[in-house]
Amino acid sequence: MKVINFFLFYLLGLIGIVFISIIPEFISLKSFKESPSFFTLFIEHIQTLLDPKAWEYRYFYLESGYPIFEVLQEPFIYSMKILLGAVFSGVIFALILALIVTCLPSRITDYIKRIVDFMESIPDLIIAALLQAITIKMFQITDIKLFNVAAYSEDIYFAPILTLSILPMISMFKVFMHLFEEELSKTYILFLKAKGMNGLEILIKHSLRNIMPAFTQRLKVIIFGMLSSQFIIERIFNVHGLTYYLLESFTPITISFVLFMIFTPFYVLFYCIDLWANKENLYFNDIRNKKTSIKRVYENFIITNQIRIKNLCYNVKHFRVSRYSLHRHLKACYRAIAVYFKEWKVIVGSLFFVVAIGYSVIYSVITDNYVGQEKFLYKDDGITLAATPPYARTDPFIFGSDQFGFSIFDQLVVWSKIYLVIWLIDCFFTCFWWPHFWCNLFFLFKPKKSKMDGRCCRFSPFYAFKFDSLYSQYFAFSISERIVWEVFILTILVLPVTTVLTGKEINEVLSRDYISSSKMIGGSSTHLFIKHIIPHIGPKLAILFGQQFIQVLLIFIHLGVFNLFFGGTKNSAGFEPSAISITYEWSGLIGAIGRGAIISGYYWYLWVLVAFMLAIFAMQLIIQGIVEIQQRRMGVISKGKKPINRGKSTPYPRYQVNENSFKLTNKVE
């Protein structure tokens, strides 16, 4: 049965890739009046895939094609070497660093976490540009070449692997630290310490084995983010991998085969990881899934319905309108939210978004979304030319200007109100609303369907598709339609991964003993979800929310390198054709001008990076505050107490016992 399921879900994944492959062409042809329907394109593409003679790789400027497997085989191996090298190096270094930091004192651990948070806010595009600039500068000074900054006649591995592994390594380190902290709060740790085992020995021999199944589930989300980053890394370092050949022949047949080649190894890898992760729970699953007799099923059915009828009668008898009043529910929601806003980290992080969005709204209302532009700067006489764009920090421009003379400060302010809100909405739907909805529907009420739901959707390379779908030209749509479409793509395509991950966390909580006790005393599914499941998976969802928030920002940065800006791209023709963002969104500005700022010396461009990093810092503060509150509720960490002043020791009072030290209270004769 496992073999049948393996090939069945693999076939479903291939069908999903076929749907994905024709979406860019469907969007491109939609602007024509007589455009074919989606079903027609799907049937034609299926016929092409079933005909081996049509498996050709065609360049845009050539009529004849080449066998597609012969063209894509070497680029696929090259790209997989870079990706797998980054994954393994990231896991190894993150694990070693987490083991060392966990054994250090708490003060040192806090400083290391702050450094890690700072490094996480730096985009991989800037990291790659810094590595290239440092290597070139050192070669100019010392005539020593650290590594090749770009591939030309030889393949390069060190620079792409290093750049691709830094941000995932930081995410893995934070996941390891969170899992270790939860594991060290369990009871068996005290028993092991009582036996004389030190902290590092406990982590390696016991805790590491226990957290690996949970870590492998989060590793899937990180790997999908690495697939997205690999597109831009290959472009920056001139690596002729799958990305290069995909963009050179952006046709449905090429998209299908590229995604097939990415999908297949990761499907097998993740399937084997799931088998290994569930190996320790086989005994429990066999007992839980053991078939019972018809008589026992009938008895359980009768008893369950009797309890439900009694509960219904009790609720009808003791019905009170005040229980269901809107005021009571609003008051309960206020109390639940007010707990988080007592944490200073949540307050400071939220204050950044409130101030940034509020200032942007006020600026837009007063100036009508004005973005200052100066094509030339003249001296006081009005005739002599003083400077041409891009301008450094001068009088009319606080943060300088871009290459077209537009004020960078105005661009940051104008659309930050929509851009920040879109970030938050996209991450909220990705990590909280939709996963909770589907988990309530499948994992709690119909647990048998959760297996099919998870296996059908966990392996698809959705991050790769984001480039494919957004690369198509759909400028004919209005700006609101483009924003809705892009938010839909960035949200719906990552939902299966986050939903399955959330479902596995819920299933893990549901398998614990206290859940069975809660069910025995009449706890409903809603009660279990609110009172027992949310407190345990809350910190993990907060970490997932932060990862998705950063990955969404990185996606926009990567799209900016390809001149695919959020909300639309304005292309201008002429001797120097250029592309300008319509919405002046932050990540697109970093992708378009951030790398050139370091290479060309226009360092005032990096003010966009400062705004980007502040947004990430604010989100990290909010997430840290939420995680700490949830961990206090679970007993993982305790609220710090004020230190006792031991500087001055108070001497104990000395008493001298005499006849007056005692008093006669009752005389016994």
Residue 610 placed within a domain? yes
- The secondary structure of 256-323, three-state, reads HHHHHHHHHHHHHHHHHHHHHHCHHHHHHHHHHCCCCCHHHHHHHHHHHHHHHHHHHHHHHHCCCHHH
Report the DSSP pairing between strands 377-378 and 66-67: unpaired
pTM for the structure as a whole: 0.71
Residue 270 placed within a domain? yes
Separation CA 568–CA 266 (nearest Å):
33
Separation CA 430–CA 435 (nearest Å):
7
Separation CA 186–CA 182 (nearest Å):
7
State the virtual CA torsion across 142, 147, 148, 154 in degrees, nearest 10.
Answer: 130
Tokens of 400: 């300088």
For the chain, the residue count is 669
Last residue of a domain, one of 243, 261, 295: 243
Residue 580's beta-bridge partner residues?
570
| Gyration radius from the chain CA atoms | 30
In this structure, the answer to whether residues 383 and 503 fall within a common structural domain is yes
In this structure, the answer to whether residues 372 and 402 fall within a common structural domain is yes
State the virtual CA torsion across 315, 316, 317, 319 in degrees, nearest 10.
Answer: 80
Separation CA 619–CA 350 (nearest Å):
8
In this structure, the answer to whether residues 465 and 585 fall within a common structural domain is yes
Separation CA 332–CA 122 (nearest Å):
39
In this structure, the answer to whether residues 47 and 99 fall within a common structural domain is no
Residue 318 placed within a domain? no
Separation CA 436–CA 322 (nearest Å):
28
pLDDT at position 442: 47
In this structure, the answer to whether residues 380 and 418 fall within a common structural domain is yes
Residue 494, Cβ density class (10 Å: 0-12 exposed, 13-18 middle, ≥19 buried): buried
Residue 660 placed within a domain? no
CA-based torsion, 31, 36, 41, 47: positive or negative:
negative
In this structure, the answer to whether residues 521 and 378 fall within a common structural domain is yes
Separation CA 626–CA 545 (nearest Å):
11
Structural domains of the chain, count = 3
In this structure, the answer to whether residues 158 and 278 fall within a common structural domain is no
Residue 277 placed within a domain? yes
The mean pLDDT values, 10 residues at a time, for the chain of 669 residues are 80 84 77 77 87 81 76 90 92 93 87 84 78 82 81 82 90 88 84 84 87 84 81 84 83 87 87 73 45 62 74 73 64 74 84 88 85 77 73 72 77 76 70 55 46 45 47 55 73 68 74 78 73 75 73 74 70 56 67 58 70 81 80 63 45 60 63
Q: How many of the other CB atoms lie within 10 Å of CB of 606?
A: 20
Q: Which residue has the tokens 């009828």?
A: 309
Q: Judge whether 459 and 263 are in contact, CB under 8 Å.
A: yes
Tokens of 184: 């060290």
In this structure, the answer to whether residues 175 and 205 fall within a common structural domain is yes
Q: Residues near 364 by Cβ (< 8 Å), separated by ≥ 6?
A: 414, 417
Q: Judge whether 206 and 192 are in contact, CB under 8 Å.
A: yes
What is the CATH classification number for the domain harbouring 172?
1.10.3720.10
Tokens of 378: 């003249």
In this structure, the answer to whether residues 522 and 582 fall within a common structural domain is yes
Domain that holds residue 108: 76-243
Q: How many of the other CB atoms lie within 10 Å of CB of 192?
A: 16
In this structure, the answer to whether residues 263 and 382 fall within a common structural domain is no
In this structure, the answer to whether residues 33 and 154 fall within a common structural domain is no
Alpha helices per DSSP H over 30-67: 38-50
Q: Judge whether 391 and 397 are in contact, CB under 8 Å.
A: yes
Residue 49 placed within a domain? yes
Rounded to 5 degrees, what are φ and ψ at 42?
A: -65, -45
Q: Which uninterrupted H or E stretch holds 56?
A: strand 56-57
DSSP string, 94-115: HHHHHHHHHTS-HHHHHHHHHH
Residue 450 placed within a domain? yes
Residue 257 placed within a domain? yes
In this structure, the answer to whether residues 384 and 410 fall within a common structural domain is yes
Q: Judge whether 606 and 600 are in contact, CB under 8 Å.
A: no
User: What type of residue sits at position 307?
Assistant: I
